[in-house]
């Protein structure tokens, strides 16, 4: 079916208008070169983050590893931790505003064991208000933030993988200013306590 000249002209004008107002399509994810069939592993077998990353990698063109693949590339979610930090109190001294923090430690290894993205942490946060007399509504707001942070975390991890793909080289962790928060510290400690990849794969 051919497109009419009028429709093509309309689409062209629409693209130009969007570009003029600052709208830009997101860059497609560029996978690291020579990436083997990939699987996403998580210490939490029901991790929504792992499921989201696996689906995103397939959409980006990655070949999913078969369950019996002897040497797949592995995006390893080493640890996930959540934390709620009080940031303000009411006149009675009760915490009424919190910072919800989500920290993840991950790394990407190719099938031959080559580290494409070394172990590193990503932390995101959002603030929310907790009204002591409205616990039901507060829990709903927190649940919404949890889902949003999971989506943003998946995007953040994919950006790190995309940086490795565009540059064709190993990407190290971002510099971090200041001490890690409780959530980030807990995630890093959990990852540090894990056995090395070879021992974990053999078990």
32 pLDDT more than 60: yes
| Contact between 103 and 181 (Cβ < 8 Å) | yes
Any domain includes 185: no
- Report yes or no on 20 lying in a domain: no
Model pLDDT for residues 38-91, shown as the tens digit of each residue: 999 998 889 999 999 999 999 988 999 999 999 999 999 999 999 888 877 666
Which CATH number is 147's domain given? Answer: 3.30.160.150
* Residue 193 in domain: no
Cα four-point dihedral sign 81, 193, 36, 46:
negative
The number of domains in the chain is 1
Q: Coil, strand, or helix at residue 17?
A: helix
DSSP classification of residue 70: S
Q: What distance separates the 2 farthest-apart alpha carbons in the chain? A: 69
- Structure confidence at residue 24 (pLDDT): 39
* pLDDT of res. 19: 42
**Lowest mean pLDDT across 6-10, 51-55, 132-136, 187-191:** 6-10
Mean residue pLDDT of the chain comes to 75
Distance CA 75, CA 52 (A): 12
Beta strands in the chain (DSSP E): 38-42, 73-89, 95-109, 115-129
**pLDDT at residue 26 above 60?**
no
12 within domain boundaries: no
Domain membership flag for residue 181: no
* 200: in domain: no
Domain for residue 162, yes or no?
yes
Which residue range forms the structural domain that includes residue 47?
28-169
> pLDDT-based confidence at 37, cuts 50/70/90?
very high
User: Which pTM value belongs to this model?
Assistant: 0.68
Instruction: Look at residue 195 and tell me if it is in a domain.
Output: no
């Amino acid at each position: 079916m051919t497109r009419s000249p009028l429709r093509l002209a309309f689409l062209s004008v629409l693209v130009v208008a969007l570009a003029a107002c600052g709208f830009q399509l997101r860059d497609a994810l560029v996978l690291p070169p020579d990436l083997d069939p990939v699987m996403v592993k998580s210490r939490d077998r029901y991790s929504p983050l792992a499921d989201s990353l696996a689906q995103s990698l397939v959409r980006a063109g990655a070949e999913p590893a078969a369950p019996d693949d002897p040497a797949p590339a592995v995006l390893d979610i080493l640890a996930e931790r959540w934390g709620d930090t009080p940031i303000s109190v009411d006149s009675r001294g009760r915490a009424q505003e919190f910072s919800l923090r989500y920290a993840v430690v991950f790394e990407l290894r190719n099938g031959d064991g080559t580290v494409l993205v070394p172990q590193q942490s990503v932390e995101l946060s959002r603030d929310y208000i907790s009204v002591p007399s409205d616990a039901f509504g507060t829990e709903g707001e927190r649940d919404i933030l949890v889902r949003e942070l999971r989506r943003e975390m998946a995007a953040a991890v994919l950006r790190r993988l995309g940086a490795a793909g565009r540059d064709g080289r190993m990407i190290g962790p971002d510099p971090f200013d200041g001490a890690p928060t409780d959530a980030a510290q807990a995630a890093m400690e959990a990852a540090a306590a894990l056995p090395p990849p070879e021992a974990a794969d053999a078990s």
